[in-house]
């Protein structure tokens, strides 16, 4: 898998003796969570994992060298049952996904580390990551943080419709990969589908409201796309990656120095 993680920030590139020399109380470990799933006819199955690596790698490159912050190898497989039925989607159950995070948390705690970030870039994992952040804190005493997507990116040229309902393989993800891996984007295979219309508000939403309806991708889009990639450009992708990376770096710094309010 292509990576933008700097070598000196890649936990898996260390030897065990190098790991043993790390300051346990300070070191911040970042566990990426993503997916391998269909992204329409124009983007690769690894889109969520590639976007995660692209944003996190650029963010880690911005951190001061003296900060002990490392990226763990990603959990590439996520809860992707909304995309089951599309060839190539590799999904795990919610219980399996949470069990993997729980077992990795146990290994991290056994190694004496105290701070863990769950950095997620797949919508199907979001609620599970929130649950596991609390569970890892409760079971292992890990100071656990959750971080999602591309915080700080303005997406200033994205339409209201795309911003609201460009969930999957739309303009933003396509722009990221036009910048990061243009060779993997099939620009001749774009398609457009939306789950709802911002100009026609309904009482039930697909997500993010107090009353949602459950959906499967095949209910909406035969192509697997939820959004419209047509306006995506590499230039916007680069700008949004840089904006996101700067904000992620700020948040990782805040997590690195964080003390609970009761101990501050």
Consecutive H or E run containing 53: helix 47-60
The secondary structure of residue 193, as a DSSP letter, is B
pLDDT score recorded for residue 207 = 87
Tell me which residue range forms the domain holding 257. Answer: 28-203+216-263
Evaluate whether residue 112 is within a structural domain.
yes
Tally the residues of the chain: 264
Report the C-alpha gap between 192 and 179 in whole angstroms. 21
pLDDT score recorded for residue 208 = 84
The secondary structure of residue 41, as a DSSP letter, is T
Evaluate whether residue 149 is within a structural domain.
yes
Report the C-alpha gap between 159 and 165 in whole angstroms. 10
Evaluate whether residue 62 is within a structural domain.
yes
β-strand partners of 118: 31, 146
How many domains would you assign to the chain?
Answer: 1
Cα dihedral across residues 60, 66, 68, 73: positive or negative: positive
pLDDT score recorded for residue 203 = 94
Evaluate whether residue 17 is within a structural domain.
no
Evaluate whether residue 209 is within a structural domain.
no
pLDDT score recorded for residue 263 = 62
At residue 2, φ and ψ (nearest 5 deg) are: -60, 140
Report the C-alpha gap between 226 and 173 in whole angstroms. 11
pLDDT score recorded for residue 260 = 83
Evaluate whether residue 208 is within a structural domain.
no
Evaluate whether residue 40 is within a structural domain.
yes
Q: What is the CATH number of the domain that holds 98?
A: 3.40.50.10310
Evaluate whether residue 145 is within a structural domain.
yes
Report the C-alpha gap between 205 and 176 in whole angstroms. 27
Closest CA to 10 of 55, 74, 66: 74
10-residue mean pLDDT series, the chain (264 residues): 97 98 97 98 98 98 97 98 97 98 98 98 97 98 98 93 96 98 98 94 90 93 97 98 98 95 68
Closest CA to 159 of 238, 225, 229: 229
């Amino acid at each position: 898998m292509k990576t933008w993680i700097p070598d000196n920030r890649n936990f898996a590139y260390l030897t065990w003796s190098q790991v043993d020399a790390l300051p346990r109380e300070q070191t911040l470990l970042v566990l990426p969570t993503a997916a391998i799933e269909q992204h329409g006819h124009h983007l690769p199955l690894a889109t969520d994992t590639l976007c995660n690596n692209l944003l996190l790698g650029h963010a880690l490159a911005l951190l001061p060298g003296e900060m002990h912050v490392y990226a763990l190898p990603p959990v590439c497989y996520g809860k992707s049952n909304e995309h089951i039925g599309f060839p190539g989607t590799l999904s795990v159950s919610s219980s399996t996904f949470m069990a993997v995070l729980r077992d990795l948390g146990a290994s991290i705690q056994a190694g004496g580390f105290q701070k863990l970030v769950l950095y997620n870039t797949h919508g199907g994992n979001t609620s599970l990551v929130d649950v596991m952040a609390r569970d890892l804190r409760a079971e292992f005493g890990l100071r656990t943080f959750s971080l999602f997507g591309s915080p700080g990116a303005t997406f200033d040229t994205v339409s209201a419709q795309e911003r609201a309902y460009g969930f999957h393989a739309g303009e933003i993800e396509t722009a990221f990969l036009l910048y990061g891996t243009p060779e993997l984007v099939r620009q001749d295979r774009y398609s457009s589908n939306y789950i709802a219309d911002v100009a026609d508000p309904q009482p039930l939403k697909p997500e993010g409201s107090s009353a949602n309806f459950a959906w499967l991708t095949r209910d909406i889009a035969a192509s697997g796309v939820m959004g419209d990639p047509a306006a995506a450009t590499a230039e916007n992708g680069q700008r949004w990656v840089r904006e996101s990376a700067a904000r992620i770096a700020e948040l990782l710094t805040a997590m690195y120095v964080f003390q609970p309010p009761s101990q501050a």
